Amino acid sequence: MCSREVYLNFANYIRKFEVIYFMKVIVYSAPNCPYCTLAKDFLSRHKIKFIEYDVSKNREAAAELIRKTGQTGVPVIEIDGKIIIGFNKEEIKKALGIK
């Protein structure tokens, strides 16, 4: 490989890292919600940092969830403003740009 190819490969790697590392990911969840657990486990396995709001204990987060989605069901995953309702693995991967 020539140095230009090495540089381009490295630059692409850094871009992908920056996209995932700097994305804001929020998970609205509740205890005893199996799909919430699946969503959080999925994000953790892919080393995606996220903020978790337990809507059963946090009234402000619950109101924000209703304002953003018009519903109270969880999980809801917000990735840089994109709302994903439920644990939809393919939509999450697409929003994060992971395979």
Domain ranges in the chain are 23-96
What is the overall mean pLDDT for the chain? 87
Whether the Cβ atoms of residue 95 and residue 43 lie closer than 8 Å to each other: no
pLDDT in tens, 20-40: 557 899 999 999 999 999 999
The DSSP 8-state label assigned to residue 88 in this structure reads: -
State pLDDT tens for residues 77-95. 999 999 999 999 999 999 9
Q: Give the class (CATH, top level) of 23-96.
A: alpha beta
Q: What pLDDT score does 99 carry? A: 79
Percent of the chain at pLDDT above 70?
78
25-29 and 51-54 beta bridge pairing: parallel
Confidence label for 15 from pLDDT (cuts 50, 70 and 90): low
